[in-house]
Structure 1
Amino acid sequence: MKVLHVNAGLESGGGLTHIINLLTEAKLQGKDFTLLCLAEGPVARAAREAKLNCHVLGSSSRYDLTALRRLATFINEGNYQIVHTHGARANLFMALIKRRITAKWCVTVHSDPYLDFEGRGLAGKVFTKTNVKAIRAADCVFAVTQKFANLLTEQAHVDGKKVHVIYNGTFFHQDSDIPAKYEHLHFNIVNVARAEKVKGQELLLKALKKLDNQNVHLYLAGDGTQLDNLRTLTQKLDLGSQVNFQGFMTHKQLKHLYRRMDLAVLTSYSESFPLVLLEASDNLLPLLSTAVGDIKKMIPDGQHGFVAEVGSVDSITNALKSAVAMPPAELRQMAEREKKYVAANFSLAQQLASIEKVYQTLLAVH
């Protein structure tokens, strides 16, 4: 089975990680998977670093429709049986050439398509409408949470028979392979996310202020359009001595940072099934998240982590207070318990097997 994964190539967060991890697992299993990026960028660079079979189409911009002919030719001459797109631009391109190719077409919906272009005015509304229409045209749709699956069928009116819930997975390491923590003076919490409104970092800053504990320090890892606003809010709340802006960090840099952390926190308004938390768990960090997406599948109860109400500073503050008050040995046990649970349920091998099962079903339909 020849499979082509297509992405615009400009992803830098969870979408990039999802694609690279999935294709790395496919390579380890000897699968015939190829990655095509519409443009040069972070995804192609990460793919080359992972020594994946990767090509760049050379699309000059999201409006470069001359790339459509090249895309159709690449698919047909490559004899690909499945084309699997990730992201609005790749979805749009595939929708426009669907009748020119013989391959079956799958889409993965990584985030809420009605929020992806929020705050971009009229253009954002057009992009949203176009993306939803493209998703509707695909032969199958993978939703990374049940919530997204429901949204696609009920709001976007995607045929329910096409929609399959496939939870994200990641590589898990033996605990003995995880480097020991560095000694550190403070209770350190880390938020790994793009600095965008949907990620809710302003809630975390306000909760940190309300916690009123000088021993708690926050590390924000990620770039985005809200970075300056978050820096301004940090100064306004007089949290300068407790908040560290790390900027974008590679996985290698994050693993080093995790050695000084006590808790991984995500305070988003909307998420799918966040890979950053699975990766933090692999590094034996206890987790705190707002109740986004299917997070309760990842953190099933209070023995496995902390879950706060979406959008509630008070709830986030209380969850932080509980984590900080927990004895270090109990926090360690919670992290170990959570890692054992997610490793058993959300491995990349399981994710790939579930996806391939759908591929096979598609190819069996003439």
Structure 2
Amino acid sequence: MKILHLISGGDQGGAKTHVITLLRELSKNADITLVCLLEQDFAIEARDQGINVIVMQQNKRYKLDIVKSLISMLEKDKYDILHCHGARANFIGMLIKKKYSIPTVSTIHSDYKFDFDNNLYKKLVYTTLNYFSLKHMDYFIAITNQFKQMLVGRGFKQDKIYVAYNGIKITPRNYSMSREEFLSRYNIKYSQDKIYVGIATRLHPVKGIPVFLKAAEKVLKTNNNIQFLIAGNGDANYTNKYKEYVKTNKLEDNVVFLNFVKDIDNFYNAIDINVLTSHSESFPYALLEGGLNKKATICSRVGGIPEMIINEQSGLLFEDGNYDKLAEYVERLAGDVELRLQYSNNLYNRIENNFSDKNMAKTHIEIYRSILTGNIKRGR
């Protein structure tokens, strides 16, 4: 079985983690090639993980000679399936299908209607192009059941949509520094008497950072023994707006922006409670990573999150935007170490049993086999 995966190569966050984690494990069971359209960190990291990577540089989206090169590659090396990730790859995949017949799959990593929300021009143009491209795909892999139902509700055929959850490598966590050492990097003095509440995410409106900040403000009115940590970066306009809120409301002593944290396990080691406040989500790696680090979790009830976090069993869920409930949950967990331990252990076990990288790769192999039994003829 030969599968060609196609991605822009400029991706970060969950999509990057998903593809590299998937292909690293898939390569043990199939002939996998990853084509990136940009030579950036994505391609470098994928190579470091032992994935066969080819970069076909496409500096501008309208440079479509890449289509001819990819068709030649598909034809020469006799690939069985073309698997696309993201809007740019979907568009190229659609153009390939016009000239070369091959089963084409697209993974739905997110709600495509919100992928370009931070730029009006891109939202109008790229979202429309992506929707048009998706309509030409043969099959889809949704990373949550909720995403599958979303596609069905928008007119995509149910029998062409598979579900494969994100997976993560189940290994013992290795921390290169203590909690004290990690916090000292940000001029935060560690105290055993304090509870550390963290969020690791992009600083973007869809991630609900104001919900996190308003909950922190409410908690700190009655409990000054909690420290809120924000790991991540984003557009300067949004970042400055969030920092201004902290300053205006005199929260600087208890709410700290860490910017991008590369050694994310050290971040999770330093916190007691992991939070996610997104307005829209898929199946976020921030929760999988926090879960493997055995952190009690509180998050918004959106997207595929309820398929991972079982409320009152492996974490706590609040309705989107409800910072009052988030504040209540933070105070509850901050005051109950046994409950934190119960939720964190339950989430770890749930991830280990259901959301490993091996399970994710196995599901993809089964999907590919199912697609190939459809006997879609390959060729021009």
> Residue 109 of structure 1 aligns with which residue?
108
CA distance in 1, matches of 2:254, 2:85: 37
SS at 1:287's partner residue? Answer: strand
Judge which range, 67-76 or 104-113, deviates more: 67-76
Sequence identity of aligned pairs in percent? Answer: 30
Q: Deviations over 1:70-99 (max 9, x none)?
A: 222232223211111111111111111113
**What TM-score do you get using the length of structure 2 for normalisation?**
0.90
The one-letter code sitting in structure 2 at the alignment partner of 1:83 is L
- Larger RCO, structures 1/2 (Cα 8 Å, 6+ apart): 2
The one-letter code sitting in structure 2 at the alignment partner of 1:153 is V
> Residue 202 of structure 2 aligns with which residue?
194
The one of 286, 290, 309 aligned to 2:296: 286
> Residue 342 of structure 2 aligns with which residue?
333
CA distance in 1, matches of 2:338, 2:332: 14
CA distance in 2, matches of 1:316, 1:75: 50
How many residue pairs end up in the alignment? Answer: 360
Alignment gaps of 5+ in structure 1: none
SS at 1:84's partner residue? Answer: strand
The one-letter code sitting in structure 1 at the alignment partner of 2:14 is G
CA distance in 2, matches of 1:261, 1:165: 32
2:175–2:266 Cα contact (<8 Å) kept: no
> Residue 283 of structure 2 aligns with which residue?
273
State the shift of 1:30 in Å.
Answer: 4.0
SS at 1:137's partner residue? Answer: coil
CA distance in 1, matches of 2:340, 2:178: 13
2:310–2:316 Cα contact (<8 Å) kept: no
CA distance in 2, matches of 1:240, 1:75: 55
> Residue 170 of structure 2 aligns with which residue?
172
1:172–1:347 Cα contact (<8 Å) kept: yes
SS at 2:135's partner residue? Answer: helix
The one-letter code sitting in structure 2 at the alignment partner of 1:199 is K
SS at 2:251's partner residue? Answer: coil
SS at 2:78's partner residue? Answer: coil
The one of 231, 255, 266 aligned to 1:256: 266
Q: Does 1:182 align with 2:179?
A: yes
Q: CA RMSD in A?
A: 1.8
CA distance in 1, matches of 2:69, 2:76: 10
CA separation of 1:76/1:200 partners in 2, compared to 1, >3 Å: closer, same or farther?
same
1:81–1:104 Cα contact (<8 Å) kept: yes
SS at 1:302's partner residue? Answer: coil
CA distance in 2, matches of 1:341, 1:325: 24
State the shift of 1:190 in Å.
Answer: 1.7
Alignment gaps of 5+ in structure 2: 181-189, 376-380
1:110–1:272 Cα contact (<8 Å) kept: yes
> Residue 37 of structure 1 aligns with which residue?
36
Q: Does 1:357 align with 2:369?
A: no
CA distance in 2, matches of 1:217, 1:69: 55
The one-letter code sitting in structure 1 at the alignment partner of 2:371 is L
1:180–1:259 Cα contact (<8 Å) kept: no
Q: Deviations over 1:147-189 (max 9, x none)?
A: 211111212x2121111121111111247x6789636412112
Structure 1 runs of 4+ aligned residues shifted over 3 Å read: 177-184
> Residue 185 of structure 2 aligns with which residue?
none
State the shift of 1:258 in Å.
Answer: 1.8
CA distance in 2, matches of 1:218, 1:78: 52
